[in-house]
Structure 1
């Protein structure tokens, strides 16, 4: 995952990528740490077909409000600047992998 801390850079990625995944978290969230591990394992299994950006919601509160991120951890797929799907229940690596691969399939 690529850490994002600049609002303009993240906004550009969200608006100008055909499909992009952004993982929203907070550093002190234990569930977020587990979700990150699931995402990293799923990314590895996806063999570089997907790239996930991550953002600490404490750094960009307005962006969190704009995209209606109500709880963390949250993984959102954006298309053309719009949030089109999200996952907040990180039940298993398989669940996260399927979400990533569905996102990849839709972006092709």
Structure 2
């Protein structure tokens, strides 16, 4: 599987999974967001089958960004069964993101 690009129409379906879902709120003009993109591709490979990695473009989905109080980007939120359970802002190395996700894979 690859990193999912989601929008308002598919968002609820994406976050209501039996596995943790990391959603990256980003924008194409954001330098740290662009740096994070390839890192999230690697993260997705590491957690494939155990978690889902998705992205939301805040320029195209302002209502979603507002709903989740996204004040700065990139912001990543981990959802479990549709509920936001953890969040992190700013660029993070792959290892830290994988750690963040794995904490919620075991926390069932």
2:38 aligned partner: 37
**CA–CA distance in structure 2, aligned partners of residues 104 and 45 of structure 1:** 13
Where 2:51 maps in the other structure, the secondary structure is coil
Unaligned stretches of 5+ residues in structure 1: none
1:3 aligned partner: 5
Cα-Cα RMSD: 1.9
What is the TM-score when the length of structure 2 is the normalising length?
0.81
Is the Cα contact below 8 Å between 2:47 and 2:98 reproduced in 1?
Answer: yes
Unaligned stretches of 5+ residues in structure 2: none
**CA–CA distance in structure 2, aligned partners of residues 17 and 50 of structure 1:** 9
Write the deviation string for residues 68-90 of structure 1: whole angstroms up to 9, x where unpaired.
11111111112343321011143
| Displacement after TM superposition at 1:47 (Å) | 4.4
* Segments ≥4 residues shifted beyond 4 Å: none
2:82 aligned partner: 81
* Alignment: residue pair count: 105
Structure-2 change in CA distance of 1:47 and 1:82 (3 Å)? closer
